[in-house]
Every structure is written in C-alpha cells, then in structure tokens.
Structure 1
Amino acid sequence: MFTKKYYEEYVIDSTRGTIGRTITETDIVIHAGQTGDFFPHHMDAEWCKTQTFNERIAHGTLIFSVAIGSTATSVNEVSISYGYDRIRFIRPVFIGDTIHVKVSISGKKKYKKPSHGLVTELVEVFNQKDEIVMLCEHILLVEKKSTGE
C-alpha cells in the first residue's frame, strides 16, 4: 500500500504495533549463511549447553532485521529511512520465541533542507512474555507540506 504522510502529520507519542513472528532454527541458519556469522552462540547446540543461556540464541542482527521488516506495512512516498541509532540487544531471543514490535514517534526536528524534517521512531521489540529484547531509534527523512514548520 502506498501512502503520503508528511512531516507535519507525525504526532509525538503516537504508536503502532505489529503482529507476532516466531523465530525458527531455519531463520538462524539462513542468517548465518547470509552474514558469515557462524559463532557457536548461534550454531552449536552442545557448546551452548555449557554457557549461561544453555541454548542457541538468535543473532542480534537477525532480530533487528525481522523486527524492522515487520514494521514495513506501507510505503510512505514522501519519506525515506535516514538511519538507525542506539541499537541495543537487551535480552537473548531463542529458537521458538515469538517477537512483536511497538513503534512510537519520539521526536521531530529540523533538517538542513527546509523542505524536509527528521522524525524519530522508538522501535521496541518484545518477546512472547512481553519482555523487551531489543530497541533502537529509526530516523526518517520526511518531506514537509510547507516550509513553515
């Protein structure tokens, strides 16, 4: 779905959420192959039994990718991703965990071109127990309807 949501239309503290997505062993194996990250924390079940979490954990970058992908439900024709800040992996995600995402508009500020502004989204990722597992800030470069704001 294509939409147009201008800078002025973003409201601080407004939120949206996603449906759940269960992380599978296949997700981890494919991600390891795509990234080259075959660390035993993700790939070696026997070694993991000797470690703190006792089982394999999903790559942080996998959780980031799945979480951000799940928020991409429509294309805003007047906005583009400017980047991500403050990515933190709070808790491990295990095979079989189901994650969901809450996105909150946390800030708006001027941009060097007066025709655009920056919108910051706080992205919080939760597991099936509603424990936060990851968070980051997503910065959007958004066109303005007018240059007055």
Structure 2
Amino acid sequence: MFSLTVADHIMVAHSFRGEAFGPAQRVHGATFVVEAEFRAPRLDAANLLVDIAAARVELRAILDEIDYRNLDTVPEFAGQNTSTEFLCRHIHGRLCAALRGGRLRESGHMVEAVKVLLRESPLAWAAYEAPVTGGAG
C-alpha cells in the first residue's frame, strides 16, 4: 500500500459540555497540526498517488472553514463536543468528498483510505481512518 501525507495547522477556540471535561468546559484555545494521509494500492501512470499540490490546496480549503473560529458558534457543529477525535472525523469526511468529487485530480480516484491525524502537542494526538467510501467519508 502506498501512502502520501500532507500537513497544515489550525488554531481554534471551543468549549466542552460535561463534567468529565473539567476546566475545558470553559472556552479555551487549541492549536492543531493536521496531517492527511492518502492510501492506495497502486500509483497512476505518472507514478503518483495523488497530486500533492492539489491535496495541500484542498486540505487548506477545508481547514480555512474552521481556522481562527470559535467552534461553539459553527452551526454545523451545534450540540457537539468538538473534541480532537470529532474534528479528525469531520476533516476526513470533507477530504473524502473532495476525492469523490475529483478535486485531487484523476489519480485521487485510486485512493482507498484516508487517515486524518490532529496533533495537540508533541505528546498527544488523535486520528480517524476509514475507507473513502465508508465511515464519515
């Protein structure tokens, strides 16, 4: 299986509901390094998995929707705890839609799975991985 990863970062504000979250129930900020890994069993005729430039552009476009935002005010996330895991799945779904829509060029149609990893710090991160046609994608 081949893989190709692109990365970027975002800064958000949010709060959580529920006593299990302790002080994180108050509005706080988070900075995430976001990694998107595309996996395919073969390469295209040019020996590419996906167009890396197109993958970077698409990831940035998805992240621009939430970067420098208070996620508590994003209508799409209403009623949700926007945990790191939740955000991984959200970004995964958007990337899979981009793949299915041809926005990562023709070679993107060979991608079978996507993994999205958000690093909160060098010591803590979360990820979501699923087939392009399954899961949240």
Same fold, TM-score > 0.5, yes or no? no
Q: TM-score, normalised by structure 2?
A: 0.36
Q: TM-score, normalised by structure 1?
A: 0.33
More strand by share: 1
**Higher Cα Rg: structure 1 or 2?**
1
More helix by share: 2
